[in-house]
Amino acid sequence: MQKHGFILILLMAQLFSCTQKTYIAQEKLTTFVNPFVGTDGPGNTYPGATVPFGMVQLSPDIGIPGWDRIAGYYYQDSILSGFSHMHLTGTGAGDLYDILVMPTNSRFSKRIAANNFKPFSSFSHEKEKASPGYYSVELLDYDIQVELTSTARTGIHKYTFPKDSLSQIHIDLGYALNWDAPVDTYLKVVNQTTIEGYRKSTGWARDQRVYFKIALSKPFNNYQLFQNDTLVMHSAKGKNTRIILNYNTSEGETIVLKTGLSTANLDGARKSIALEAPHFDFESYKSEANSLWEKALQKIKIETTDRNKKSIFYTMLYQSMLAPTLLSDLNNKYKGANDTIMKAHQFNRYDTFSLWDTYRAAHPLYTILHPNIVSDMIKSMLAHYNETGLLPVWSLQGNETNMMIGYHAVPVIVDAYFKGIEFNYDLAFEACKASAMDDSRQIDVYKQIGYVPIDGHHENWSVSKTLEYAYDDWCIAMFAKALHKPEDYHYFLKRSNNWRNVYDGKSTFMRPKYKNGEFIEHFVPKEYTPYFCESNAWQYMWNVPQNIEDLIKAVGGNDRFEQKLDSMFSLNPLPEDRLPIFSTGMIGQYAHGNEPSHHVGYLYNYIDRPWKTQHRIRQILETQYKNEPNGHCGNEDCGQMSSWYVLSALGFYPVNPAQGLYSFGSPLFDKATINLDNGKRFIIEANNNSIDHKYIQSIHLNGEALDRNYITHQDILAGGILIFNMGHQPVKERQLKKGISSKIYH
């Protein structure tokens, strides 16, 4: 009897074990995503509901301005003032926050000056949840449960009320935060379940327009409509309009509110709801949003026993798809960068192009995972060119902000061209050339003397501009060569060497220069000055991705270059050094919290010291990303910080983002499978991999030993298996017949 009992217990244990393994194997990837990563510290992300690259970012707002609340929400705060429909992810720019909605009741009526006397409630992280496409929180002072989800162009709210004779829903178009300010708003009560209107505002996007239709699952009893704080009937128009909808609610009663958006007109907003959100089944929308995210995350499947690292990876993959965002509505119309209503023909128009950040890793990642969306993104950039005569620099909601430097739509376009992505190549070259020949942003003097000189502007950024322009010029030269335009090829190739004009052989740094050709007298490389864009001379020293070989020669050869790289990672800031807000994620002078440093760890590959790249990349992966609200070491920057992690965790990174090559680092996971849109799979395996086994011993691609320290984009698209054999000690004698080179191009 005891023997049979033991066997039964053993069989049950085995069955449970098998069931548990099956469950783990089938566990949704969305369960590993933590949308709160970056909502504390310098990350500036939001935790709310959206779908991949969607127009709507429905997220909670603290309602109090400040740098920490650039995305509307800050994890350390304890109140919420409502839920607005549009947010930026991980930037330093305080804009959007359109169409604030807040449920309240008679239980709490306190107001404070800090949030401009708007309704608010305390909340607790213990009663707050977020997952891809979903956010929920309990408004403690009202005992109201809020749930949010979205489609591409519609935000959907579900409020669960307690019993109250004065439950309310506040819709506030005058609400503004940080840089944002309304200039014209409109509210119209169509009937007891429908409200329409628009919000036009200025801020970082100087002419932003959002048209909306709101549909409610329950008719309101009555309302108070305010036009600049004066009660009016039926409709209100002014800088500050808002409406309060009044309800009687029973215990546990739910009201669903849907907000359809368009940047073009009310008809587009109506169509958003009609086609994307025709019913009031909140759980259905939530499930659909989760399914969209699951499908997107399934593009890369990793295998590891470390659930924490798995969560970081899928959170980063998730955050890489929060921008760019949809601009066109379901009529294909949108607010153009020429301030007129435009129509996209056979493509979706996107915007939120943070190109100084994202050209480095995010857009190359998109070419692997989302080639069809990349095609639409390029067509969107070309639409911007048709509307303004220039490619976007940092465009938002159909506006050019001209933030940051370079004409970095160029490398994105050129990279996409060489990777075979479909768009109008002749128009694209025309646009690239026009942007490089424009006379604004000191490009005129750059063309004349070959560099941007020092001037009196607060943000002259002269050295950084010279280096960024020179790289973009190299991209145009390669594009011209491919299109058989020899005159343009030679002209822009010559311009791509302009980095030499700010290189100072005496100090072996890129150094600010006067217009008369003399270098600035006072020069301390680690100082942060107006001559470097959000960086110092150490961090911009390496910004010649188009010609690393000649930079190495200029510094003095491989050994000297190695010494300088070593110093980059070991010259720690002193306590008395004044570090600006963007100087974060520091390892010596390397600043992972800002983009100019992102490729530097990979440069040891160019001097046949790949084990040093492997050491540094693994160090950054292990120390600069965490599965917690303060998990980003700097602004996430519209997908760049997360894309760096995704690519580097796979084991490679594009040092030159338009070259079509990926330099090897140190793969983080035992196995990763990239499911390509062409139906093929590219599998990456890391044998004997661990935190202590970070050094590559050998590499095989499709069964053959690889004698180079890079992989090509075409290798990935062809599918196959890349195997890294890892070990505890660096292998310094591994022969590389084909070191990575700036001269190799697609």
338: closest CA among 391, 403, 377, 384? 384
Question: Mean pLDDT throughout 724-737?
Answer: 83
Q: What global pTM score does this model have?
A: 0.95
Per residue in 583-603, pLDDT tens? 999 999 999 999 999 999 999
Q: How far apart are CA 732 and CA 724, in angstroms?
A: 16
If you classify domain 300-328+561-746 with CATH, what class do you get?
Answer: alpha beta
182 pLDDT higher than 70: yes
Contacts of 344 (CB under 8 A, 6+ apart): 328, 332, 333, 334, 379, 380, 383
Question: What are the tens digits of pLDDT across the range 95-149?
Answer: 999 999 999 999 999 999 999 999 999 999 999 999 999 999 999 999 999 999 9
Phi, psi of 73 (to 5 degrees): -135, 145
What is the pLDDT at residue 23? 39
Give 443 or 19, the one with higher predicted confidence.
443
β-sheet bridge partners, residue 200: 184, 209
Q: What is the mean pLDDT of residues 254-273?
A: 98
**Confidence at residue 26, expressed as pLDDT on a 0 to 100 scale:** 73
Averaged pLDDT for residues 146-166: 98
Q: For residues 527 and 523, what is the distance between their CA atoms, to the nearest angstrom? A: 8
Locate CATH 2.70.98.10 in the chain: 30-297
122 within 8 A of 115, measured Cβ to Cβ: no
Residue the block writes with tokens 């390892």: 587
The C-alpha atoms of residue 442 and residue 209 are separated, in whole angstroms, by: 31
Residue carrying the six token digits 């996007």: 205
- 3-state class (DSSP) for residue 509: strand
Query: What's the rounded Cα separation, in Å, for the pair 75 and 68?
Result: 9
Query: What average pLDDT does the structure give for the chain?
Result: 95
pLDDT tens sequence across 657-715 = 999 999 999 999 999 999 999 999 999 999 999 999 999 999 999 999 999 999 999 99
Reply yes or no on whether the pLDDT at 735 is more than 60: no
**What are the tens digits of pLDDT across the range 319-376?**
999 999 999 999 999 999 999 999 999 999 999 999 999 999 999 999 999 999 999 9
pLDDT at 732: 86
CATH fold, domain 30-297, is Beta-galactosidase; Chain A, domain 5 (2.70.98)
Q: HEC string of 272-332?
A: HHHHHCCCCCHHHHHHHHHHHHHHHHCCEEEECCCHHHHHHHHHHHHHCCCCCEECCCCCC
Q: Which helix (H) or strand (E) holds 119?
A: none
What are the tens digits of pLDDT across the range 506-564? 999 999 999 999 999 999 999 999 999 999 999 999 999 999 999 999 999 999 999 99
Give the separation between CA 463 and CA 511, rounded to whole angstroms.
7
Domain with CATH 3.30.2080.10 in the chain: 300-328+561-746
Closest CA to 33 of 133, 108, 115: 133
What's residue 125's pLDDT? 98
What percentage of the chain exceeds 70 in pLDDT? 96
Tokens 């819709």 sit at which residue?
A: 171
Structure tokens at 705: 């030993």
733 falls in which pLDDT band (50, 70, 90)? Answer: confident
| pLDDT for the residue numbered 24 | 45
Classified as helix, coil or strand, 230 is: strand
Give the E-state strand segments of 217-284 in sequence order.
222-227, 230-232, 235-238, 241-249, 253-262
